[in-house]
Amino acid sequence: MARKRKNYTLFGLLWRLTISGAVVFALAAGGAYLAAEQLIRTPEREAPDLHALTLEEAFRTASEEGFPLRLDGEEPTSVLEPGRVLSQRPAPGMWVKEGSTLRVTIASRP
């Protein structure tokens, strides 16, 4: 059995493209709205002070406070013993979105 081929007019084709574009736009706008709302409504908390803690203690403290921790690297110094947190971003006491990643640099031998 032969299938009938649909004969689309230019107007019909333009109408279908317009409807398809509107649906894609509506989905994208809805997704952007939900993402923005989630970002705005995320509560803020104070960043904990991780200075001079060992890396293990810093991971445990950050985890208990609900923050992921990322090691940015090591920096040679004689101020702290190696393996201790030398600096952190954001700084302790700053208000940050809950669940934001804290970045630390640990001390190494000079």
How is the chain split into domains, by residue range?
Answer: 7-41, 44-108
Q: Per the omega criterion (within 30 degrees of 0), is the bond before 90 cis?
A: yes
Q: What distance in Å separates the CA atoms of residue 15 and residue 8, rounded to the nearest whole number?
A: 11
pTM score > 0.75 for this model?
Answer: no
How many helices (DSSP H) and strands (DSSP E) are in the chain? 2, 5
Confidence check: pLDDT of 7 > 80: no
Chain segment 18-72, per-residue pLDDT in tens:
999 999 999 999 999 988 887 788 889 999 999 999 999 999 999 999 999 999 9
**Six-digit token pair at 99?**
């669940």
The mean per-residue pLDDT over the stretch 82-95 comes to: 96
Strand partners, 4: none
CATH topology of domain 44-108: Trypsin Inhibitor V; Chain A (3.30.10)
- Give which of 59, 55, 91 is closest to 74, Cα–Cα: 55
In the chain, what percentage of residues exceed pLDDT 70?
A: 93
Residue 109: per-residue pLDDT: 93
**Six-digit token pair at 16?**
């279908």
pLDDT band at 6 (very low <50, low <70, confident <90, very high): low
φ/ψ of residue 20, rounded to 5: -60, -45
